[in-house]
C-alpha cells in the first residue's frame, strides 16, 4: 500500500532533478545550515521554527519554498532529530492490511499516527499511513493535509540539487529519505551503496531511460549526529 501512495506522487511530481538540469529551468540551492540555524531561532523571523512546524502540521500548502527548506533542514537543530531511529513497521502493518476501519479503529489509528509524528514529523512510513487511514475514513481534509506535508519534504529535497555529482548532491536529513527520493524520481536502487569522503552516500541505480548510473546524497547531518551520539552528547 505504501508503494501505491509513493507511485501516485511519482506521477504528480515531475522528477525534476533529472530534467531540470538538462533544461536549465531550475536553480538548485544547497542548504546553508549555519544561516538556517540562525534564522529559525529568531522569533520575529518568517522562518521561526515553531511557527514553521505549526504550519507544517496543519498541512499549509501556502508555505513558500524557502519556508519549506527552513522547515526541513532546520529540523537538524531540533532536540528530537534522530536520523537513526524509526518506527517499528509492524506497528503500521495492521493499518495497511485493512480495506476498511471501524470508527473506533480510525480514532485509535489517528492517535497512534499523531503520537509518532510528534516525535518524528518527517517519517514517510507514518505519513503514508496517515494518507491510508484518511482515505478509508473518507476524511478529505486530513488526507490533503498529509499529502501537503509529503510535498513539502520532497520540495525541499529536490530544491537542493540534481544528485548527479558530489557538487550537486541531494541534501537529506535521513538515510531513508534517499530511497524515497529515488522512488519518487522514477529510479530503482541498484543494490550498491557507498560512503564517500565521509559526507556523501552514493546509491547505484538500476538501468533507466535517462542513463543515470547513480545518485549522490549529502548526509553530513546524519554523520554529525552519529558522532554526537557516539560521544554521548
The pTM of the whole model exceeds 0.95: no
Number of domains in the chain: 1
3-state DSSP call for residue 11?
Answer: helix
Instruction: Please report the pLDDT score of residue 6 as a whole number.
Output: 45
Could you tell me the residue range of the domain that residue 192 belongs to? 2-231
Cα distances from 101 to residues 82, 107, 113, 135, 165, in angstroms, run: 32, 10, 15, 10, 46
pLDDT digits (tens, 9 = 90+) for 95-135: 777 788 899 989 999 998 999 999 999 999 899 999 999 99
Q: Which three cell numbers stand for residue 78?
A: 531540533
Q: Are 169 and 157 in contact (CB under 8 A)?
A: no
pLDDT digits (tens, 9 = 90+) for 190-200: 999 999 999 99
Reported as a pLDDT band with limits 50, 70 and 90, residue 20 is very low
Q: Strand pairing of 170-171 and 189-196?
A: unpaired
Q: Give the list of residues 6+ apart from residue 25 with CB closer than 8 angstroms, or none.
A: none
**Which residue(s) pair with 189 in the sheet?**
205
Instruction: Please report the pLDDT score of residue 86 as a whole number.
Output: 67
- Across the chain, where does the E strand assignment appear? 170-171, 189-196, 200-205, 214-218
Cα distances from 152 to residues 10, 70, 207, in angstroms, run: 14, 11, 29
- Asked if the model's pLDDT at residue 2 lies above 70, the reply is no
Amino acid at each position: 500500500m505504501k508503494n501505491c501512495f509513493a507511485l501516485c506522487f511519482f506521477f504528480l511530481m515531475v522528477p525534476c532533478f533529472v530534467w531540470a538540469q538538462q533544461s536549465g529551468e531550475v536553480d538548485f540551492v544547497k542548504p546553508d545550515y549555519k544561516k538556517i540555524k540562525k534564522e529559525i531561532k529568531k522569533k520575529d523571523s518568517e522562518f521561526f521554527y515553531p511557527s514553521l512546524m505549526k504550519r507544517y502540521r496543519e498541512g499549509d500548502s501556502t508555505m513558500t519554498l524557502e519556508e519549506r527548506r527552513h522547515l526541513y533542514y532546520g529540523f537538524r537543530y531540533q532536540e528530537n532529530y534522530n536520523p537513526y531511529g524509526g518506527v517499528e513497521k509492524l506497528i503500521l502493518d495492521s493499518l495497511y492490511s485493512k480495506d476498511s476501519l471501524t470508527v473506533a479503529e480510525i480514532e485509535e489509528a489517528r492517535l497512534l499516527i499523531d503520537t509518532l509524528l510528534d516525535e518524528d514529523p518527517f517519517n514517510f512510513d507514518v505519513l503514508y499511513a496517515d494518507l491510508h487511514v484518511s482515505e478509508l475514513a473518507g476524511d478529505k481534509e486530513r488526507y490533503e493535509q498529509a499529502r501537503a506535508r509529503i510535498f513539502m519534504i520532497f520540495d525541499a529535497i529536490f530544491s537542493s540539487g540534481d544528485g548527479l555529482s558530489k557538487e550537486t548532491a541531494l541534501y537529506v536529513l535521513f538515510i531513508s529519505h534517499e530511497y524515497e527520493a529515488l522512488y519518487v524520481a522514477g529510479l530503482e536502487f541498484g543494490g550498491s551503496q557507498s560512503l564517500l569522503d565521509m559526507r556523501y552516500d552514493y546509491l547505484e541505480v538500476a538501468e533507466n531511460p535517462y542513463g543515470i548510473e547513480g545518485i549522490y546524497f549529502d548526509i553530513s547531518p546524519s554523520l554529525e549526529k552519529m558522532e554526537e551520539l557516539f560521544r554521548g552528547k
